[in-house]
Structure 1
């Protein structure tokens, strides 16, 4: 009888301990899920003076800029084990991922190009908004994931339905967006410089096409405003300009040459000048520089 009483008392005590352990586990974990407090860096500024709130916001903004390039795990430290978990009645939570495991998760996310695609919740680009990487290698907006957790009441991945998961703040999409913006700015600058260089080359280098070469020479003559040969002081009748054509209708057309110094002469006048010049290499009659000539 005494043995039976001892057995019954032991069984009842174990049953009491088991029920108390289950009740403690339910009260601590299942009835009070609070996912909004998963961010240890979140601060509330309600009920503060406006000036104090502005100062706090400025400090938070500065701290946020400093932490943009730093990656850190967003989830807080796991709570201590409950009695039911210690007794083996409930499965213990998984251990947190190590840095090597997070490195492999991030490599898998980079291979899948998760940061280059829009957020799967709001379907918008990440740009400069904070993003989080889940332990299942999926990437979301930080605000979108927090809203999803708040309305669903549980930590389940919106894509693969993995439960639970760990979150890590990353900035891969920010770097991709900055690189894309820098590339676009550089492309615009290179295009502007190329167009500017082309306009300069177009004004200084003579084209090979005959029609374009004539237009190039005529534009140079228009810029100089010289319509007469500086040697014989008669009209340069070989140019197809209205003013020159009107002045040279009564004159016989005479071939014209252009010097490399951009001065125009009648071919016969320049040959006569070269014949009477005493120098072995004659210079331009106007600017006194060595030249190459080309008939137009």
Structure 2
């Protein structure tokens, strides 16, 4: 690219030899310098003047080895932020002569701090990459001196295909690049928050299921379903147990019932005593208040407990005698004796309440 410019400069110098005016020669040189600067920086860095139609064939730009400010060793932590830079671009002839301002020097660490603070205020690291529109996650991230943030690979691809160093958003040229890790830290924090939320939700659901199994709800319909489920569980366990050994299960039930019955009989024999005359009067008053005048065994009428009149005295002998028990139940004497003869226990219990008794003819 330098050869066509040198030829053009030589041609202009040759043409200006015939001129005696210094102004004309200076004008020619300044024009060549401006044309060189426009061709190299403003129009396109890869146009060739040898092409008559200015359709320069695009050359693949040399990828200079990016060096880090300071020495980056493997012993240093990965979260360290550092500035990436390549060799500074060569100055054009117009910049060397002062016709065009030279590029600004590299920004200082304080300026980088202000640039990063502006990027944090804008929340660029929390937004997707402006080039690929994907989240940063743990991929390498770079911050430009214009406070815009991109994927490092996306920015390199943009520079490679555009052929110039120009910010994809604000079009600022000759920017500086700094490797940062804000998006990676934010992504790790979000992942930890999601993991904690999932774990807490799992514990809450587990605790809720356990409470639902032990505490019935207040709603009537839900409470009915709760008890139906509990009853179904009991039935299932009963059926499962019976399916294994029915005979043993029924034998255990009979054994427990017989032992319970013996215990109750012993307690009744121990505490039941012979009622006194006053106790019989009280028991008889309870019978009168109850108003039941049928024998529970034969289901026929009993004689009245009121005092017999002279008309009833003749027929009293023909009636079946009534027995009053200490538990305030009435029976025909013959019916109760038949029940006692039928019973296999040493001391029969009341046919109604199953309690030990003393009896009295009335």
Classify the TM-score, shorter chain: 0.5 to 0.7
Per the alignment, residue 154 of structure 2 pairs with 144
Give structure 2 stretches of 5+ with no counterpart: 1-19, 47-59, 242-248, 258-263, 272-362
Deviations along 1:219-244, one digit per CA (max 9) or x if unpaired, are 6745875999x99967xxxxxxxxxx
Q: Which residue does the alignment assign to 1:125? A: 135
* Unaligned 5+ runs, structure 1: 1-7, 42-59, 235-268, 277-296
Name the CA distance, whole Å, in 2 between partners of 1:167 and 1:200: 56
Identify the residue that residue 196 of structure 2 maps to in structure 1. Answer: 186
Q: State the structure with bigger RCO (CA 8 A, min sep 6), 1 or 2.
A: 1
Q: State the Cα deviation string for residues 114-158 of structure 1 (Å, max 9, x = none).
A: 112221212222111111111111111111111111121111111
1:201 CA displacement: 2.5
Report the TM-score, using the length of structure 2 for normalisation.
Answer: 0.45
- Cα RMSD of the aligned pairs, angstroms, is 4.7
- Residue 231 of structure 2 is matched in structure 1 by 218
The alpha-carbon deviation at position 38 of structure 1 amounts to 5.7
Q: Secondary structure at the match of 1:191?
A: helix
Q: Is 1:38–1:74's contact at 8 Å kept on the other side of the alignment?
A: no
Partner Cα distance (1:222, 1:35) in 2? 82
| 1:107 to partner: Cα distance | 1.7
Alignment of 1:1-296 (within 5 A): 36-37=63-64, 39-40=66-67, 63=74, 68-76=78-86, 78=88, 85=95, 87-203=97-213, 205-209=214-218, 210-212=223-225, 214-215=227-228, 218=231, 221=234, 225=238
Q: Distance in 1 between matches of 2:215 and 2:177?
A: 65
Provide the secondary structure at the position in 2 that maps to 1:107: helix
Normalized against structure 1, the TM-score is what? 0.53
Taking structure 1 as reference, are residues 102 and 177 closer, same or farther at Cα in structure 2, changes over 3 Å only? same
Q: Give the number of the structure whose alpha-carbon radius of gyration is greater.
A: 2
Q: What is the count of residue pairs matched by the alignment?
A: 210
8 A contact 1:115–1:139 mirrored in 2:
yes
| CA shift for structure 1 position 92 | 2.0
Q: Distance in 1 between matches of 2:229 and 2:126?
A: 50
CA contact (8 A) 1:72 1:170 kept: yes
Going from structure 1 to structure 2, the CA distance change for 1:31 and 1:116 (only over 3 Å counts) comes to closer
